[in-house]
Structure 1
């Protein structure tokens, strides 16, 4: 005790004991008043520090808290361990984590990689899980470890529905749908009422690859086109009573004594007599036509759309041949006038996007030129002593009979034997639009029209190349195989389908006159009386009172001429 404390005790002694001396030990209570930390109030190894005013504070050792450091800190509060691990409190505020199966790390935060020693086979992908893994199989395989090859198109595995044909493609399958169905497994019944021809308020009832029209009481006919009033008012006088519409419906527009044929999809002409657009829906589809005339030259222009990467477009010949096909989304051409080896080339462009594309082909002796969508042309020469391509066998469009297809594939004239699947909207051969109704000597599984392709409006905006304008002097030449041709060599080549453009050349004004606009690029239609619409293709309705004596009356048709129709009749 210091001098100050001693004097303090002397003072107390003098106050209590006026006579005598202070003897014996000083009590702890007295000493505690002088030093607040004298009694060691702090717990668990804490350090006490006086703060004055007879107070103190405890500096706690690690793992403790409280005024006197009397409480141990719960190191597991809030459970710092991850993934359902168990937390255990250790000394000095520390903890440890006891991990669940499949995890590791100080806080059990790491999932143990079970794929380090997996058993997945056949190029399967191992996906780590908790204390296990799974195998994501490549197409065509199944099983826990992808060890089993799927046997497609068997009794045990045939997902194709509604009479579809299942085709085993090795690592996957494909369903070739029956007419009227679509979808990956042919489970969708196509809506045949999308572009129906029901008239006069008739209700379209969808069927399978066809539809029927449910007519109001006052109308009848396949398309509800006939009214009972017609026969009463105009016995033997309606021009539609003796019409010659071959593939469409007869209409008598208001104010006219003549009739109009509204054509079904794929047909054109005044009487709907020309079949110019066709769809190929199944493998084995094709059109057979007379052999291609190659002297002095042969030019073909095809406008088509497809979403398939492979398929036969054109084939004619045997040893000497011209073969045009889709291969991995590009146009592939094989050309042989009898000079070994065969020449072949591919297009720059891919065309399997579901949009319309125009392919131009020109055969001139040994030379062959290909152009897609008016882009850069590619050309090749089948060098040798033979000059002309001599053909005597039929020309096939869209596919081949099985035996002929397999023979062409064995000779590497074709890379696949699959039929084209999509729509051929127009086919021009040597400057003439093909009418399949007349030109085809045989049709197999063909559907008239392009009901499932882009709209007629979009397709009509494309230039109709009535003559292939690819000329040999406009195209660079390639020998044998053009695949190695430098890009810069082809960049110098750009040809134009039209040297001068007349907007009215291929106008669509139906009942009116085409008038070129000042910009020289567009046109408008000046309609005849009784007609309206952008292309003068809409009947303007008028109300005319019917006379009591029936001497004058006007039969009003509710129909508005449509631009496109879904096929109703199917050509086998």
Structure 2
């Protein structure tokens, strides 16, 4: 329904004395010359002519001229205010966006912006997230993602290749660690780290990868029960393909 009138005003310039004029001026003559305000620069608040509805003054409604200098706005549904710019209904109150955010479309309807991993009109459907590791197969290893999100195979010991399907030939891998032994109920280990080879890889001849040569050295051990002793350790110094132990 129409709301209160708004007046199209003609105002004096700042700094001038007198009272501002509110209303409409027609057929203004200066020195017997008719003045046309449409052809001169106008200040804020001054409208050319006496047509209050010549501009889109009602944001969400229809303008109706009530006189030569005033108008009223007939607002659309869901809008109010003198210029029909105030929303009377929030469509997101009581919204049904399960996993998302409500975005108003107009006074009566809304849409749902879904969180990652969810879809559907109401964001109530789970979406299958793409797993890059589904695109590759690691036969003897595990799929990992690089810093750029690209999948690659991290192969188990003894295997190589993009798909970890190639067996590495028998080789000796040098390690340096404590050598441990069980002495009765006590756990014992060397007092210093021992450098030795571990045989890794496979053999295509049906043989097994194992030590071909080793040497024995004496090392001191300390145990959890406070005892200590000296014993020999057989250190592997060369690996290769040999008959498998039954």
User: TM > 0.5 between the two?
Assistant: no
| TM-score class, shorter | 0.3 to 0.5
Higher helix share: 1
Compute the TM-score of the two structures, normalised by the length of structure 1: 0.19
Higher strand share: 2
Compute the TM-score of the two structures, normalised by the length of structure 2: 0.38
